[in-house]
Amino acid sequence: MSRNLRSRTSAAVAAAAMGLALIAIGPPAYAGGDRGGGGHDDDVVTVATGLNNPRQLSVERGDRLYIAEAGTADSCEAIPDVPPELRVCGLTGSVTEVRRGEQRRVVTDLPALDFLGEVVGASDVDVRGNRITVLVGGMAAAAAARDSLGDEYATFGTLRTGRLHWAPLTGADLRLVADVNAFEVAKNPDGNKPPDSNAVGFVARGDNRYAIADAGGNTLLRVGRQGLSTVAVFPNGDPVPGPDPTAPEISPQAVPTDVTIGPDGAYYVSQLTGFPFPTGGSTIWRVTRDGEMTAYATGLTMVTSLAWRGDTLYAVQLDDEDYIGSEPSGSLREVTPGGSEHEVVVDDLSAPYGVAIRGHSAYVTVNSTSTGDGSVIRVDLH
């Protein structure tokens, strides 16, 4: 089943130094009505709009949605002793709740970072009952400089939790669960210099236990009673030809982007390959609790998010092929275990990023690198 929902966008390559290379896009050109991305299928409906760089999301009972918004880069300042391409942009990140068709921001005042127009900040969210847990992306290659900033930026690179109530929470209301940025600065498991952290996806393993994908650190981390520890360090992709045929081959930096727990209890980790973003170059890794890694599926491209529905895994591709010199167009895929070809559920999406599934519905963030024009669509999985 394939449903075509293309939004025309312009694309520019953001530098892979962030550890998570995204696409800068313009606002969507919807065809009208309530269909996402300018599509023509009644099985796809827009359920949230007006979002600021929406990334991962979760869906709870009653189809309540919670969407992590990285924030905006409207007013940014340089970071002392850090290259000018990296700037802090105030407390513009948030989490939006969608309940019974109504939207409201239930968490505000989360910090945002700008890198050449790319916004990094709140990256993932999970809600159980009235407890909300929020992951805020890190300082990237400026990880060691976080502590030189004001206290309002201490939320960068951390996992935090709090209890929802009628009034919005602020970042300051959330209790620290794990400091991923500090762990990277102290341990630097992949050995790359300087320390680089951008925590972008997590999954709850039980009470106060989590697994976190750190794209900047190239690691899967575990949060337990003893704090943070490293489960796995991910390899770079195989060498591929560069865009210039006379140039030497390039080994794309391959970074983890999301983690979920499979029916077998293992971790499943998605992967986004860096420049030159080879088509089919992404792998979904199966990682055991003791860190043994095997390829669960190959042949994917720029995967940013995963979600299970029973025994079936679904993946979001930010772009379906090497987008250098072409317009980006992503999709939601049904993953074939052990395979390299994966069925299209819905394609021609404008910069899709996160996916969450409940019942027969998949919820996907689109226009994920757009300020004010981000949205969420609901896709009927039948």
Mean pLDDT on 138-144: 92
Q: What are the φ/ψ torsions at residue 110 (nearest 5 degrees)?
A: -95, 145
Would you state the pLDDT for residue 116?
87
CB atoms within 10 A of CB 34: 13
Contact status, residue 110 vs residue 70, Cβ threshold 8 Å: no
Would you state the pLDDT for residue 43?
83
Would you state the pLDDT for residue 17?
34
Nearest to 78 by CA among 88, 68, 92: 88
Q: How far apart are CA 73 and CA 291, in angstroms?
A: 37
Would you state the pLDDT for residue 323?
54
345 pLDDT higher than 70: yes
Mean pLDDT on 49-74: 96
Would you state the pLDDT for residue 246?
78
Element (H, E) at 267: strand 267-273
69: left (phi over 0), alpha (psi -120 to 50) or beta: beta
Q: What are the φ/ψ torsions at residue 95 (nearest 5 degrees)?
A: -130, 130
Contact status, residue 262 vs residue 211, Cβ threshold 8 Å: no
Distances (CA, A) of 93 to 46, 107, 111, 175, 230: 22, 8, 6, 17, 27
1 pLDDT higher than 60: no
Token output for 339? 């395979």
* Least confident piece of the model among 15-19, 127-131, 133-137: 15-19
Would you state the pLDDT for residue 41?
54
Would you state the pLDDT for residue 327?
67
Q: Greatest CA separation found in the chain?
A: 61
Percent of the chain with pLDDT over 70: 87
Would you state the pLDDT for residue 22?
42
CB atoms within 10 A of CB 361: 17
* Least confident piece of the model among 307-316, 319-328, 365-374: 319-328
Would you state the pLDDT for residue 253?
83
Between the CA atoms of 245, 247, 249 and 254, what dihedral angle is there, to the nearest 10 degrees? Answer: -100
228 pLDDT higher than 80: yes
Nearest to 96 by CA among 137, 61, 134: 134
Mean pLDDT on 49-59: 98
29 pLDDT higher than 80: no
Contact status, residue 222 vs residue 237, Cβ threshold 8 Å: no
Q: How far apart are CA 306 and CA 150, in angstroms?
A: 34
pLDDT band at 275 (very low <50, low <70, confident <90, very high): confident
205 pLDDT higher than 80: yes
Would you state the pLDDT for residue 302?
94
pTM score of the predicted model: 0.91
Determine the 3-state secondary structure of 172 from DSSP.
helix
Q: Which residues, 6+ apart, have CB-to-CB distance to 195 below 8 Å? A: 141, 143, 144, 184, 185, 188, 217
Which DSSP string do the residues of 25-46 spell out, in sequence order? -------STT-GGG---TTEEE
Mean pLDDT on 265-285: 92
pLDDT digits (tens, 9 = 90+) for 84-97: 999 999 999 999 99
Contact status, residue 98 vs residue 375, Cβ threshold 8 Å: no
pLDDT band at 26 (very low <50, low <70, confident <90, very high): very low
Which DSSP string do the residues of 339-368 spell out, in sequence order? -S--EEEEEEESS---EEEETTEEEEEEST
Q: What is the CATH number of domain 3-380?
A: 2.120.10.30
